[in-house]
Amino acid sequence: MRSETLKVAAARAPRGVFARYLALTKPRIIELLLVTTVPTLFLASTGWPSLSITVITLVGGTFAAASANSFNSIIDRDIDALMERTMHRPMPRGEISVRAAFAFASVLGFISILLLWVLANPLTGILALVAILLYVLGYTIVLKRRTAENIVWGGAAGCMPVLIGWAAVTNSLSLVPVVLFLIIFFWTPPHYWPLAIKYKDEYAAASVPMLPVIATLQNVAKRIVIYSWIMVLVSLMLIPVAKMNWLYSGSAVVLGGAFIFESHAIASRVRRGVDPKPMRLFHGSISYLSLLFLAVAIDALL
């Protein structure tokens, strides 16, 4: 009880200017995006990528993601204020004005596109712009408040870092980054829907039509299983497409099997009418993606 009180007090404590703007960018989401970018650089380089292109891509990609997340924070400030999970973010707390946040997000976006365009190549800059627009316009403005398919199609923005990383190295796109894109695309729903199950009541109170809000738990669990199977099958497609070695192949099978097992476990618990324990899959899905892409990087060095 005391620890919970301390957590609440810490969440309400005043933050410095740097901490406010950092929180606006949702750094934990950016970390996950970089987890997929770095291995893609290794795969595109068929070994160690150059230090300069790595730094340029990571800095530019971080700024692009920070820009998109900051715009999202501005637009969703009314929703965030209604949800306990998000009400401590800078915008609903009134720590940053809308004008200042908009200027901050715009500058970050401009720098990211300019940096990648000039120091990497124009294709990389264009892909960064597309990623920002997909997340801000496609997901946040158009889809999130209108359809339960929001996280399915809106999740495409989170797949863009692999295209950006590949283009930064090769100045082109091919089937390999498309397969990487699809792995993340089909990973996103079974990653996010468990979180939406846990916070179903909060999303309902904020009138956000996440799938668990408008569908039965049985239907949500069924779709989690379907997307999990598709994701694993797509991950196996990378083996022939990118000529992956034994390390990635074995990792994809083992990690994919564990992911599918837990997705079926949720469905089983739902059928039995017990606690579905959705956060087990949510946290496990992060480990899955991190370890799978780590295998991509190591495999590229073999």
178 and 275 part of one domain: yes
Q: Which residue, of 137, 171, 205, is where some domain finishes? A: 171
> Could you say which of 131, 151, 171 is where a domain stops?
171
The verdict on residue 247 lying in a domain is yes
Other CB atoms within 10 A of residue 218 CB:
11
SS3 labels along the chain: CHHHHHHHHHHHCCCCHHHHHHHHCCHHHHHHHHHHHHHHHHHHHCCCCCHHHHHHHHHHHHHHHHHHHHHHHHHCHHHHCCCCCCCCCCCCCCCCCHHHHHHHHHHHHHHHHHHHHHHCCHHHHHHHHHHHHHHHHHHHHHHCCCCCCHHHHHHHHHHHHHHHHHHHHHCCCCHHHHHHHHHHHHHHHHHHHHHHHHCHHHHHHCCCCCHHHHCCHHHHHHHHHHHHHHHHHHHHHHHHHCCCCHHHHHHHHHHHHHHHHHHHHHHHHHHCCCCCCHHHHHHHHHHHHHHHHHHHHHHHHC
Q: Does any domain span residue 19? A: yes
Q: What confidence tens digit (pLDDT) does each residue in 198-241 have?
A: 999 999 999 999 999 999 999 999 999 999 999 999 999 999 99
- Considering the domain architecture, whether residues 26 and 165 belong to the same structural domain is answered as yes
Are 167 and 180 in a shared domain? no
| Total tally of structural domains belonging to the chain | 2
Domain that holds residue 163: 15-171
Domain-embedded: residue 136: yes
The amino acid present at 173, given as its one-letter code, is L
Residue 87 domain-assigned (yes or no):
yes
Tokens 């500058």 found at: 107
- Does 144 share its domain with 278? no
Q: The domain that contains 292 carries what CATH number?
A: 1.20.120
Asked if the structure places residue 274 within a domain, the reply is: yes
Same structural domain, 245 and 289: yes
pLDDT at 3: 45
Calpha distance 138→106 (Å, rounded): 17
CATH code for the domain of 136: 1.10.357.140
Which token pair is 239? 């083996």
Residue 10, in any domain of the structure: no
Residue that is last in its domain, among 107, 138, 171:
171
Residues 160, 190: one domain? Answer: no
CA trace torsion 101, 150, 81, 6 (10° rounding): -100
Q: Is 253 found in the same domain as 161? A: no
| Paired tokens of 264 | 């079926």
- pLDDT score, position 13: 56
Q: Nearest 5°: phi and psi at 121? A: -165, 160
Which residues are CB-contacts of 112 (< 8 A; sequence separation ≥ 6)?
Answer: 60, 61, 62, 63, 64, 66, 67, 128, 132
Amino acid identity, position 295 = A
Positions in the chain whose pLDDT score sits under 70: 1-14
| Same-domain pairing of 153 and 25 | yes
Domain membership of residue 5 (yes or no) is no
Do 40 and 159 share a structural domain?
yes
Kindly report the number of other CB atoms within 10 A of residue 12's CB atom.
9
pTM of the model: 0.92
pLDDT value at position 302?
85
What pLDDT digit, counting tens, does each position of 15-32 carry? 789 999 999 999 988 888
**Residue 70 located in a structural domain:** yes
Instruction: Give yes or no: residues 71 and 161 share one domain.
Output: yes
Residue 11 pLDDT: 47
Q: Do 25 and 54 share a domain, yes or no?
A: yes
Same-domain pairing of 144 and 190: no
C-alpha to C-alpha distance for 44 and 33, rounded to whole angstroms: 17
How many CA atoms does the CB half-sphere of 77 hold within 13 Å? 17
